[in-house]
Structures are given as C-alpha cells and as structure tokens.
C-alpha cells in the first residue's frame, strides 16, 4: 500500500525591493542584510539584454535594479525596522506582505494572487500590518 504525500499550505513574507538606481551586486546584498533570515533573489538583466559600450564592455554588468526576498515572518517590528532602513537608503519602492502559497511534497511552490493592495507613503511603515493576502506598497 503506497502512502500519499501531501503538500503544505501557508503564508510567507514576500518582499520586492526596487532600488533608486541599479546597485553593484555586493552593495545590493549588503543593503538587504537588514532583513536577515530571508531567501534573496537578485533580479539582474539577462546577459544578452545588457547594453555594450564602444569598448565592448558591458555598462550594466553585475548591476542589480531590484530584488525579491521570501521566507517566514519573524518579528514584525524587526521587519518594519529593516523596511525603514531600506526606504531611508537605497530603495525607491518596497512591496511587502504575507502571501499565500501551496508547496508540493516535492518542494515546488505555487504563489497565490494577492487579495488586496494597500498603497502607503514611504514614511508609513508602521501601517504595514502583515495581514494575510494583503500587499503593502511603500512608495
């Protein structure tokens, strides 16, 4: 008799950071350290889409315009503190919330659509309530 393997449902912190200007990879990673314990995916231009200078060297190589961080929500106040640091520094906008997911027994994750968007001023970080399914856009 075979055993059925079930997936997992839940909510994870899903955070997108758009930098005010593309940052070198190391600088982007350093800036994101204020939100420790999360998985970081740096969004970089595809190598074929990078513009070439006359000398043939790329002028955007290694530059990161934005990033995505995901993982379990730890202390909400620590996350808010990290958001303040990013918005007071290199971030142009931040989108953050607890996003629903379905994770298969094999580990594949399907993210659910957001139920609601809430747009806040970048100074209103205390308004981020981490309500399940709500994406807070700080700009």
The percent of residues in the chain predicted with pLDDT above 90, rounded, is: 78
- pLDDT, tens digit, for every residue of 92-123? 999 999 999 999 988 898 999 999 999 999 99
What secondary structure does DSSP assign to 1-51, as a single string?
-PPPPP-EEEEEEEEEEEEEEEEEHHHHHHHHTTSTTSEEEEE---GGGS-
Task: Give the pLDDT band of residue 57 (cuts 50, 70, 90).
Answer: very low
pTM: 0.83
Answer whether residue 47 shows pLDDT above 70.
no
Instruction: Map out the domains of the chain with their CATH numbers.
Output: 8-45+58-138 (3.30.70)
Answer whether residue 45 shows pLDDT above 70.
yes
């Amino acid at each position: 008799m075979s055993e059925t393997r079930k997936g997992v449902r839940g909510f994870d912190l899903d955070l997108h950071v758009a930098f005010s200007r593309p940052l070198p990879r190391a600088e982007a990673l350093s800036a994101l350290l204020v939100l420790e314990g999360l998985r970081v995916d740096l969004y970089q231009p595809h190598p074929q889409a990078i513009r070439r200078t006359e000398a043939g060297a790329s002028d955007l190589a290694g530059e990161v315009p934005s990033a995505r961080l995901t993982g379990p929500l730890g202390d909400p106040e620590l996350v808010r503190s990290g958001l303040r640091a990013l918005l007071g520094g290199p971030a142009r906008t931040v989108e953050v919330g607890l996003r629903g997911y379905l994770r298969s027994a094999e580990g594949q994750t399907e993210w659910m659509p957001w139920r609601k968007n809430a747009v806040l001023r970048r100074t209103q970080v205390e308004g981020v309530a981490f309500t399940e399914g709500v994406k807070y856009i700080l700009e």
